[in-house]
Structure 1
Amino acid sequence: MGVQRSTLFLNVLIGVLLLWSIGTGIGVGLALAGTLNIEHFYDVGRSKVALPSKVLDVKDRLITEFFSHEKREIVSIEELPPHLIYALITREDQEFFRHNGFSVRNFFRALWNIVTGQYFSGGSTITQQVAGYLYTDRREITITRKLKELWWAFQLERNLTKKEILELYLNTMYFGAGTYGVEAASQFYFGHSARELSLAESVMLVIQLASPARYSPINHPERAKKMQWTVLQEMVRLGYATEEEAKASFDEFWRNFDYTRPQNTSAFFEREDRAPYFSEYVRQQLEERLLGTFNIYTDGFVIHTTLNLDFQEKADRYMQEGFARVNAVYRSNRSRARSKAEQEFIPVLDMLSLAFDLPEIAAGEKRRMQDAKQYAMDNLFPVLEMSTNLFDIQELATPIERENRKRQQERGRTRVEGALITLENDTGYILAMVGGSSFEQINQFNRAVQAKVQPGSSFKPLYYSAAIDSRKFTPATLIYDAPVVFWNDDGTPYTPLNYRGEWKGYVTVREALSHSMNVPSLKVLDAIGFDSAIERAALLLGISDPTEIARTFPRKYPLGLGVITVSPIQMARAYAVFASGGKEVTPLAIRYVEDRNGRIVLEPEKELREEQKRKGDAIYLISPQTAYIMTSLLQSTVEEGTLRYARQLVGGFPMPMAGKTGTTQNWSDVWTVGFSPYFTTAVWFGFDQPGNSLGVNQTGAVTAGPVWARYMKAIHEDLPAKDFPKPSRGIVEVEVTEHGLLPPPGYTGEVRTEVFLTGTEPKEFDSIVEFEQERDQILESKLFDSLLVQDTPDELPLSIGIELDPEIRNLMESLDAGPSATPGGGIAPTPQEELDLSSNPLLD
């Protein structure tokens, strides 16, 4: 307790000394000002030159510029509602009408807030903020800069009235999302003039001034809501509003708040941009990290990013081809389904409607009404919208806006979207990013980063890596693939199917993963347990918060088939760990930022590298040996599994590739995630709104796979070929038979070289082949003897019952023992059990 008091006393003492220093500096500054007779005090309010910030790619080529047109509509303070002024004073400077530019009370309150860890408002007065914004570089945390700011604040107080200072402040300052001045901010956030601001709206705008990224009602509505209520209560305490007015306005604000507004919306979308989704991603990160008075729209920063424009151009081209193809196939599927319904079902329903006087089931009439409505939306509403804007017919604005929202929602259900993201394995650089089919005012959602969709079978490698680590499984472990019932902890059964409903019997782990077999995969999950699988998946995906982990990963068997929600950037991050030899890969977009004078003001890459260095060996999320085996398994997917078609389609690759496909329940999402020794790329296609199907003819293998393959081949064309690095120890390669065992002496069957963690390689010879040969010989002999008859009767019996020799029966039963003889096997269904197959995902 004594230490805390001493620390508090020391902090207060430092603050007092700082105040004395500032006072002394002010005196000196004023004396110098009087002596030198400042000659260039231009019109107060004249701003420094605004320069756009340049966004450069990894080769210093221009991607885009961040700028603000700053076409403000200057609003007189007399036209603004009084509660806006009261809200500003409450939040920023409660002593505004009682000080001459500097407030001792504000200073000590800010100092106390720093000492106690609380925050409501800063120490600078409104006049100081205007002076600092117009005449100093507020990024400098120096006494010199503070003295300049104070001197200019005094000049403003001497030359302007309090109302003029408030008017200058409200028409000049930055309110977030690319808006300057209260009028532009009001139009952007609320869609109407600042002259019409309500009490709660005024408070919401005022709290943007301190940190628009932190308190944005669009990006962080709950955080903004809490601060808004805090300021409203302070206004009540100061007598600027009654409790009833504050509560009524607050409730009205949130009752009408649009929670569906895109989070990454901003006030500029017409700029030329060669990678708009990536640029917006960078802009959001800068607004989070460049706090205070940094202004990315006017300060002339040079932002050095990780993007490679060559890769981005290829990504855009192949994704646009993918969008065209997947939407064309989807529309064709819908058209065929609709045609069949019209031919077979609608006439029957119409006949029943007429026969039994049931107009509510008259499908033909409903169909015509739907067609008419669709025609109106596609052809008439655009004309009406143009007429409304042209002739200012406000009566039509509301219904048109309502229909536009419906159209956007319908497009989310019926338009196939997608995303692509590429990471460099060694650095985590984001080299290419496609967040959707088009970046526009009504389609700003960055699916590469923000989409939460099911990964399907592309999720399987994450927990397969835990199975390899457990040493219970190797690439050669045999698993029995047959119908099985798995029982969840709540007693509900789960009966997975393989894609196309096929069963393969005994398969190796390598075959099960490369051909995306569901039952063997769930047996792997069952054997290692949910805890191990979830821990590994969360680690690879970069999810550390326990609450988020519990929400993301249900402890039920569908988890093993990817029935969770993740983003493409998370999947790329997870697979990049395999490609990087087990090391953590953190996606990185910004390398460093320079100001207009070439001074580095932000170094995200340097900070990341220092953090990684501090981790030491902890940077390895999985061992290099496990990463190498997982890479080998995923290479089989490209060579002989579900990505074989895509590989053949592009004529092969210039170097080794590894990856996995995924198709989710009802064919609603399709994936391919894969990597080379250089780069990792995730490709996803699906819908923004759930509940629709791409069609059974669109899977990860045939839809996402070709896009991934074409793109990956293109970005590797000019690179020297190399192989995935093999650990120098901890890995052994052994020749095994098709059953994953050592070939016995004299063995003439097929063998392959398999990789194992040292100590997990097989020690036994394969006797299954000899066993099968012996069984077949005995079976053939016994069956021949049983069917051999000396005299053939004139009439054959309707059926012949054959009593098998006990020796034959024992041999056959031992071979076909099935799931009970395999690790992690569930309970085999009895003939009486009805398997509910309708709700099971058929994954590739």
Structure 2
Amino acid sequence: MATKPKMKPRRNHVRLLLTALYWGVIIAFVTLTAGLGYGYSLVYDLERPTLTAARPAESSTVLDVHGEVITQLHAVQHRISVPLAQMPEHLVEAVVVMEDIRFYEHFGFSPRDFVRALWLTATGQDRQGGSTITQQVARNRILDDLRFSVRRKVREIYVAFRLEQKYTKAEILEAYLNEIFLGGSAYGFQAAAQQYFGKNVSDLTLAESAMLVGVIPAPNAWRPREGNMEAAMQRQRLVLSELVRHGRITEAQRQAALDTQITLARARQHEPETSLTNYFVDHVVAQVRQWIVNTQRISEQEADDYILRGGLTIHTTLDLTMQRAAQQAALEIFTQPNGVLERLRRHARDTDPNLEIRRLAQSPDFEWARFTRNPRGELELSGLQPQVSALFIEPSSGAIRVWLGGRDMVGRFGIDRVSREQNQPGSAIKPLVVYGPALALGGRTIASTVDDAPVTFPTGDPTAPEFSPRNFDVNTFHGHTSFRTGMARSFNVMAVKLFQSVGWQRALNWAEMLGLRFERTGRSNDNDSLSVALGGLTKGFTLHEMVAAYNVFNNRGVYVAPHSLLRITSRTGSVLYEARPPERRIVLTEQLAWLMTDLMRGTVESQGGVVGTGHFGLRNATMGRFAGQVSGKTGTTNDNLDAVFVGFNPQFTGGVWLGHDDSSTGSPRQVRPNEPPHPTRSIHTTAGSVSDNRARGGMPSSGANAVGSGTATAIFGRTLSHYYRAINVTAFPTFQTEWYEEYGVFGPPRRLGLVRQRFSRLSGKYPSALTPSADIAHDWFIRGTEPRPEDPCDMHVMVAICNESNALAGPYCPPASVTMQLRVRREPYAEVFDTGGNRLHPVDHARQVPFEQCPVHRAPPTNGGSSTPPGS
């Protein structure tokens, strides 16, 4: 039987290869056709590009939360075109080296540079670059929605390719050099040369050219100007080094350029930098710019250009009605005819300037004022300072409603008194690091007391081994004090003792849950520092951080990050950016948040708090009407450079800072995130100043009537008054309360489960049979922490007192000289003296159980009479 012949393997392989090739050609053809069709669909509507047809600029608009226009953002353009032949060769070389090293080799698009930029972006090493000079010129010829997309890139590459076909490299380069944005109002190198150096571009030196080229990636951040020369020179050094590396200049030329003195042109005051001058707008535009750079993979220069020319609509959280109220309040306090500064100047004109200004400067409302001497030797009020800032947010959402950056009402890029400038909070820190942690961690209640008596702490400084904190009234110690009184009257001794008992590590950890940041490392830090209890910090906090921290109390124990940007839409209405819900986290129980809120109401209600009378009646006239409707705390520093009030009502949480940027220059002392080394803190005592590098035990003085806090409080109160008047609200919002029939009082919402109980003012415990009615009070407690009858007050005791010595009766005191008296137990306190050498005692020391036995009757009576004391 014949066998069937086998097929040859080679024939099968050839057939498979031909089949694969056939389908490969078809797929490639279809893919190419589809790609060309898709590419055409992306560019078919583009007009023929020319170098004279730059895209039209369309202003961007910033809106408030109600859709009212805050401002229009548009480029104030100063542009002067000059021929390429008038451009210095070293300028042209520097631009090519830094922006497009293969400019003369590519055909408008550099695949190598583009792929490299994509790789760097994907790996997180860079978010800029990849565009040739021709592409950057092309970008100004088309106007697309701001998206890092295939569509935008294809259109950009197509226009660049067409420009390269139509124009020479020299023509393209000339267009680029005449239209590139270089900061301020300068577009093109001729305008920049005039703006920064007061000369024509043809006269620029190598050093000046390198400095201008260096600013291209981020013009407003790196441009040469007073106060910013270090950044500009850093970029200059980079450009010169690149020129040497690519062989465009020699090392000797580089060194000569570095040695060249740069002289800036005098700025023309009438020429605006840009229209982005409002403090809040500065803040919002910075966020928009950063979002564009981070997500759209373009440079800061391109982002700024698009913000100013791209027709964006930026929706924000600001409430212009309330913003105007805050501005009006600040104007009234400082600049209007009846304002603070005018009254000071009026008094200075009508009386002897030296005597009258000194007198006014010693009043509680005006000790923040700074004075200089004129050529005649007279004291004059400084016009530059003090400055002011304010921030108000909505409690539940964290939406920023007011952002007041300064008294001049316009922004100055680089000074941000709300979110970057750090200042000492003074006593405004006490709820955050003292009373809050004490209630949350220290096993204490609202009824707890602290003995405000003389005390000393070791400082670790051999030149001043001990430190005795003092209250604002210096030589007065107030004895056994409740939390409410201590908070309302801002007693320092009590705060320091509480802070120490809770423990600095636990207290700072607790405060950091509220969003505060302390210095924990470095030679100077906040670790183990008693000064923290009174606001003596290494660097301080921003007003933004303080308001966010206080808002936790107002928002039922929930931290919510303040935010200002809602969405960004393009000129066609498409949404480019939609804000995510802000960060939220529960950090306190709602019960504790309510107790802290109620505790801080005392600082507004009490005559010992911020409402107390002040010079010109600033305090009573503005905050008294809000008694019971606002909670908050004042804070000042011992050098009178800072005063702050942070407070809240049910609708808003806000803060007002008043102080001096700098006593001489007006520049910020500390800013985030670029934080220079903080100077040694000067810690004041009644004996003088103690230089304390780590602030061990030292602290600034502060108190209820501390300087400047009345003015800060006045601005806060007037902001609310003007706002509610503007929206026709006559009944101010009040904290939610409910009627408790069993107690006969209004109290917290019943859902919180708080209970009301009586207690001894001296011990915080349940009153005993010996507790006088004057020492009994009532307050609210978290259930389970209220004082109980089984643990009665042990502070009041009956003791035998010798009337002749007012000391404890001894076995030899005559019965007729001994009486049983109701006294108060007290632990021994430190020996502290005033400047006259007199020992200081608490104000209630007459009620205390004496520490010593009668020194008069130390031996049995010589007449043989009985000396047994009563009750023995």
> The residue matched to 2:560 in structure 1 has which SS?
coil
Given the alignment of the two structures, is residue 131 of structure 1 paired with residue 106 of structure 2, yes or no?
Answer: no
In the other structure, the counterpart of 2:279 is 277
Task: Pick the aligned partner of 1:309 from 320, 329, 343.
Answer: 320
CA distance in 1, matches of 2:828, 2:524: 32
**Cα offset for 1:651?**
5.0
Q: Distance in 1 between matches of 2:556 and 2:527?
A: 29
| Structure 1 gap segments, 5+ residues each | 1-19, 344-366, 379-406, 613-618, 787-800, 821-826, 838-844
Q: 1:508 aligns with which of 460, 470, 482?
A: 482
Matched residue SS, 1:756: strand
- Partner of residue 144, structure 1: 151
User: How far apart in 2 are the matches of 1:532 and 1:368?
Assistant: 45
Residue 81 of structure 1: how far off its partner (Å): 2.3
The answer to whether residue 244 in structure 2 is matched with residue 244 in structure 1 is no
Q: 1:486 to 1:211 in 2, by over 3 A?
A: same
One-letter code of the match for 1:721?
P
**Which has the higher mean CA deviation after the structures are superposed, 422-431 or 148-157?**
148-157
Work out whether 1:339 is the aligned partner of 2:341: no
In terms of mean alpha carbon deviation, does 199-208 or 127-136 score higher? 199-208
> Does the residue aligned with 2:243 lie in a helix, a strand or coil?
helix
1:817: which partner in 2?
Answer: 826
Do structure 1's residue 522 and structure 2's residue 533 form an aligned pair? no
1:602 aligns with 2:602: no
Identity rate of aligned residues, in percent?
Answer: 29
Match in the other structure for 2:390: 420
Equivalent residue number for residue 359 of structure 1: none
Further displaced range: 803-812 or 108-117 = 803-812
Distance 1:226 1:371 in 2: 41
- For 1:142-541, what aligned pairs fall within 5 Å after superposition? 142-177=149-184, 179-188=186-195, 193-212=200-219, 228-250=236-258, 268=272, 276-291=278-293, 292=298, 293-294=302-303, 295-324=306-335, 325-328=339-342, 339-340=354-355, 371=375, 411-412=383-384, 415-439=385-409, 445-463=415-433, 464-490=435-461, 492-501=465-474, 502-541=476-515
Partner of 1:658: 631
Q: Distance in 2 between matches of 1:475 and 1:321?
A: 38
Report the AA paired with residue 587 of structure 2: L
User: Are 1:637 and 2:637 counterparts?
Assistant: no
Cα distance in 2, alignment partners of residues 649 and 551 from structure 1: 40
TM-aligned CA distance change 1:225 to 1:828, over 3 Å = farther
- What is the CA–CA distance in structure 2 between the aligned matches of 1:535 and 1:803, rounded to whole Å? 45
The TM-score normalised by the length of structure 2 is 0.71
Aligned pairs (5 A) from 1:804-843? 805-806=809-810, 815=824, 817-818=826-827, 828-829=831-832
Matched-pair contact (CA < 8 Å) for 1:52–1:299: yes
| Aligned partner of residue 468 in structure 1, secondary structure | helix
- Structure with greater helix percent: 1
d(CA) in 1 for partners of 2:561, 2:637: 27
Distance 1:770 1:139, change over 3 A: closer
Residue 723 of structure 1: aligned partner: 735
CA distance in 1, matches of 2:160, 2:34: 11
CA contact under 8 A between 1:26 and 1:150: conserved in structure 2? no
Whether the aligned pair in 2 keeps the contact of 1:323 and 1:418 (CA below 8 Å) is no
Once residues 792 and 342 of structure 2 are traced to their aligned partners in structure 1, the CA distance between those partners, rounded to angstroms, is 53
Per-residue deviation, 1:628: 1.9
Kindly provide the amino acid, as one letter, of the partner of residue 609 in structure 2: T
- The verdict on how the C-alpha distance between 1:731 and 1:89 changes in structure 2, with shifts beyond 3 A counting, is farther
In structure 2, how many angstroms separate the alpha carbons of the residues matched to 1:517 and 1:31?
A: 74
- Conservation of the 8 A alpha-carbon contact between 2:196 and 2:264: no
Cα distance between partner residues in 1 of 2:39 and 2:649: 68
Q: Is 1:576 aligned with 2:551?
A: yes
Structure 2 unpaired stretches of 5+: 1-27, 359-370, 613-618, 667-699, 737-747, 841-872
What's the CA shift for 1:70? 2.1
Q: CA deviation at 1:160?
A: 1.9
Amino acid at match of 2:341: N
Pick which of 434-443 and 238-247 moved more.
434-443
Rounded Cα–Cα distance in structure 2 between residues aligned with 1:26 and 1:86: 41
Relative to structure 1, is the Cα distance of residues 201 and 535 closer, same or farther in structure 2, using a 3 angstrom cutoff? farther
| CA drift at 1:446 | 3.7
> Letter of the aligned partner of 2:76 in structure 1?
H
Q: Give the letter aligned to residue 481 of structure 2.
A: V
User: What is the correspondence of 1:23-102 to structure 2 with a 5 Å cutoff?
Assistant: 28=36, 40-41=47-48, 43-102=50-109
- The range that moved more, 466-475 or 109-118, is 109-118
Give the 3-state SS of the residue equivalent to 2:604 in structure 1: helix
- Contact 1:655 1:721 (8 Å CA) reproduced: no
Q: Structure 2: how far apart are the matches of 1:39 and 1:588?
A: 39
SS in 1 for 2:307: coil
Shift of 1:304: 0.8
> Cα–Cα, structure 1 residues 770 and 623, in superposed 2: closer, same or farther, change >3 Å?
closer
**C-alpha separation in 1, matches of 2:544 and 2:270:** 23
1:103 counterpart letter in structure 2: S
Please identify which structure carries the higher strand content: 2
Quickly say closer, same or farther: Cα 1:755–1:829, change in 2 above 3 A. Answer: same
Bigger shift: 722-731 or 156-165?
722-731
Q: 2:760 aligns to what?
A: 737
User: Structure 2: how far apart are the matches of 1:746 and 1:177?
Assistant: 76
Q: Does 1:749 align with 2:773?
A: yes
Q: Distance in 2 between matches of 1:538 and 1:131?
A: 50
1:272 and 1:287 map into 2 onto residues whose CA distance is 12
Instruction: Letter of the 1:817 partner, please give it.
Output: R
Q: 2:786 and 2:573 mapped to 1: Cα distance?
A: 58
The structure-2 alpha-carbon separation of the partners of 1:314 and 1:97, relative to structure 1 and needing over 3 Å to count, comes to: same
2:693 corresponds to:
none
Q: Is the 8 A contact 1:653 1:713 kept in 2?
A: no
Confirm or deny: 8 A CA contact 2:354 2:378 kept in the other structure.
no
Which of 639, 643, 649 aligns to 1:670? It is: 643
Checking the alignment, whether the CA contact within 8 Å between 1:466 and 1:536 is kept in structure 2 is: yes
Corresponding residue number in structure 1 for 2:661: 688
CA shift for structure 1 position 676: 0.7
C-alpha displacement of 1:305? 0.8
Counterpart position of 2:695 = none
Pick from 95, 116, 120 the counterpart of residue 109 of structure 1: 116
**Count of matched residue pairs:** 713
Deviation at residue 479 of structure 1 after TM alignment: 0.8
Over 3 Å counting, the alpha-carbon distance change for 1:114 and 1:703 in structure 2 is closer
Q: Distance between the aligned counterparts of 2:372 and 2:129, measured in 1?
A: 63
Following superposition, the deviation at residue 270 of structure 1 comes to 8.1
CA distance in 1, matches of 2:352, 2:662: 20
Q: Distance in 1 between matches of 2:83 and 2:839?
A: 70
Change (3 A) 1:647 1:418: same
Structure 1, 454-463 or 432-441: larger mean CA deviation: 432-441
Q: What residue identity is the alignment partner of 2:809?
A: D
2:526 aligned partner: 553
Report the AA paired with residue 102 of structure 1.
F
| Contact residue 53 and residue 299 of structure 1 kept, 8 A | yes
Residue 485 of structure 1 and its aligned partner are, at CA, apart by 1.9
Q: Whose radius of gyration is greater, 1 or 2? A: 2
